[in-house]
Amino acid sequence: MIYEYKCKDCGLVFSEMRKMSERLDPIDCEACGGESEHKISTPMFRTSGSGHGRGAGHKGEWK
């Protein structure tokens, strides 16, 4: 799965493909090497049928 992370030092937000069991493990920032935190978010979804598909999601929170 792809998870979002935010660096506590430089503020960079980046994505990383990881196993679900590894999502909360520490990960270094791609830019500065600082400690990053995992973003808890609701996945996007899309419905279809009558041609009025909609996407929904939330900004989530950093943890």
pLDDT at 33: 96
Other C-beta atoms within 10 Å of 12: how many? 14
Write down all domains in the chain, each with its CATH number in brackets: 1-43 (2.20.28)
Per-residue pLDDT of the chain (63 residues; tens, 9 = 90+): 888 999 999 999 998 888 889 988 989 998 999 999 988 765 544 555 555 444 344 455 655
pTM of the model: 0.62
Helices vs strands, H then E, count in the chain:
0, 6
E strand segments, the chain: 2-7, 13-17, 36-40, 45-46, 55-56, 61-62
